[in-house]
Structure 1
């Protein structure tokens, strides 16, 4: 890898989203990226940071909510104050990633940024890092690059990337053109995509010259671009907080896919590197069962410090954050999440529906457990 090229690379970690399908473990005050969901002893955000260190060194910026400042600093004490971007309120990914790009552009217009969400599980790390290196080489030719995940099943939970012709780029043998981004499909369409072989899951990973990101943002979202540029201009001055508080609440709320990726793909400015590593966005409690093998002794996957779980002819996932004894008898594919003030009991099959419960609790004003 060209050392000069790698010196231009900065990692960005957007750490937002509560992960409502992981309630009651994940909540507004303790979102999923602050939990160890893989039994590795490392939270998801710490694991994300460590994946990027060999590529970016100390050049890593984190974008998160003000409410998570203390918890994020405890997880990532190496991140400097100027590299910790605290959102006064959630504004979706275009504002978060766009502001990181605008700040980095002011520091060095030649920067190539790589944005990777804080709440994904990726193995093996070395294969991921090889894909990012290919993406950096490709971005240096003037492309916004996404790392698409090879689909392993016809999922309706993700958007897809339609890959096109192979690109001839030194240092990026697997780079391909992106024909289009497509929305989350229905079941039949997802099966067709899987059979076609030319479609990849959109995991929201972007590697791009900050100048190109901002060019497309200005073109498609001029109001958002203007606000972010003003905040970035004040970022390393005493006016930082005042400027953020004045501008941020009025910024348009939109996803980076709509604001940048899709219009850039239509303009022929997007490439994709197929990711051949294992990837999981830990979207629900069934994912925790996939990521953590069940105990041979009990047949149950148990996550938590206090593991007082007993089973008799039972299978499933138990996440415990209390001292209670949990006994499972003659029940299969169950999900039990036990916290001091809320208990969830469902099945792996219905794990995606937890979000509906959170919505109902919110509607009924039961906010103390959210």
Structure 2
């Protein structure tokens, strides 16, 4: 007889990506998840660990990250078990990262249920978060691949959306619905329609499933990728074979997001479910989001981040992030974004914050990798 679903649950934290829309604060050697972006006194990664450990237990959390970030991750998470850190030789996107975690854990513990939660999101309302995860675990045990959609509070254009379908009957979960479709980031008018409909939720990129079901879905849509993940998992727990297997197989794996390889095909086939999350959530996708997080409830104010920031402001609003020792003076500017680091300075506005990624792309094409 199998253990109860919650006892078979394992948290997976993919800690990858640079967060290029937060450049020059977020860099390849210091990505978004290794920063304190909310003034909590600890990094987003540590916040994620603290949110998940009461649900799965500290010994049942796996972190998937790049080899270059191992030391920083282990410093942030001293209770992370050595066998539960999975190191990527290079970024291959979320299907490879989450799929490898699923394959390793299923081989170690057949019947395991995994939940994937990004290392760099901001969440408040941990009791509501736990409630949603527990319901998602119950639905996953029923055979569904499950996502948690966030009840929208505004017509946001920076998030993808999940269109909900019919209610589903799941033992132990009273708020599970089918997923009718995934929708890319909309324009403002469309986002307003989504908000008014009550049928659309923000896509927070959280996925909960039995590991074997997740792997079945990858095998169905991406058989070569699945074969590579299984071969890696078979070699993983043998230190003598792991390194050569990673060096040989990992670079050949297809780079594709789990939304496209798993979630969208599963939704089309009626195998994807969603639980509505009523907690506060933000993926901190750009400096406009960061400014809102740090001026919540204080309309028209200026957010200042940086332990030793030296900022003088008069009739100004927006956000200043200071990692240098310069005095920054702002006079009569609104919705301004200033990010000052020792080797790079960004000045833009909240309206254009999403365009920062284009600067990063231009620097990369121009060979300026020293500031990336």
Q: Which residue of 2 aligns with 1:164?
A: 165
Decide which moves more: 175-184 or 97-106: 175-184
SS in structure 2 at match of 1:231 = helix
RMSD: 1.7
Unpaired runs of 5+ residues, structure 1, are none
Deviations along 1:95-123, whole A, 9 cap, x unmatched? Answer: 00000000010011210000000110011
Match of 1:248 among 250, 273, 276: 250
**Contact 1:294-1:300 at 8 Å conserved across structures:** no
- TM-score by length of structure 1 reads 0.96
Q: Which residue of 2 aligns with 1:27?
A: 27
Deviations along 1:25-71, whole A, 9 cap, x unmatched? Answer: 00111110100000001111110111000111020001111111111
Q: Which residue of 2 aligns with 1:329?
A: 331
SS in structure 2 at match of 1:305 = coil
- TM-score by length of structure 2 reads 0.95
Q: Distance in 1 between matches of 2:189 and 2:304?
A: 35
Superposed displacement of residue 336, structure 1: 0.9
Q: Distance in 1 between matches of 2:215 and 2:301?
A: 51
Asked whether 1:306 is paired with 2:326, we answer no
Q: Aligned pair count?
A: 368
Asked whether 1:208 is paired with 2:209, we answer yes
Aligned ranges 1:168-317 → 2 under 5 Å: 168-237=169-238, 238-293=240-295, 299-317=301-319
Q: Which residue of 1 aligns with 2:39?
A: 39
SS in structure 1 at match of 2:4 = helix
SS in structure 1 at match of 2:114 = strand
**Contact 1:295-1:301 at 8 Å conserved across structures:** no
Aligned ranges 1:19-168 → 2 under 5 Å: 19-57=19-57, 58-168=59-169
Superposed displacement of residue 354, structure 1: 1.0
Q: Distance in 2 between matches of 1:330 and 1:188?
A: 31
Q: Distance in 2 between matches of 1:341 and 1:66?
A: 25
Deviations along 1:182-213, whole A, 9 cap, x unmatched? Answer: 33333433332222211111111001000100
Superposed displacement of residue 79, structure 1: 1.4
Deviations along 1:345-370, whole A, 9 cap, x unmatched? Answer: 11111111111111111222111111
SS in structure 2 at match of 1:239 = helix
**Contact 1:12-1:113 at 8 Å conserved across structures:** yes
Q: Which residue of 2 aligns with 1:13?
A: 13
Q: Distance in 2 between matches of 1:294 and 1:322?
A: 25
**Contact 1:294-1:302 at 8 Å conserved across structures:** no
SS in structure 2 at match of 1:36 = coil
**Contact 1:94-1:259 at 8 Å conserved across structures:** yes
Q: Distance in 2 between matches of 1:315 and 1:153?
A: 21
**Contact 1:20-1:355 at 8 Å conserved across structures:** yes
Deviations along 1:327-350, whole A, 9 cap, x unmatched? Answer: 111222111111111111111111
**Contact 1:294-1:301 at 8 Å conserved across structures:** no
Superposed displacement of residue 295, structure 1: 11
Q: Which residue of 2 aligns with 1:344?
A: 346
Q: Distance in 2 between matches of 1:42 and 1:104?
A: 29
SS in structure 2 at match of 1:85 = strand
Decide which moves more: 286-295 or 304-313: 286-295
Unpaired runs of 5+ residues, structure 2, are none
Q: Distance in 2 between matches of 1:196 and 1:279?
A: 20
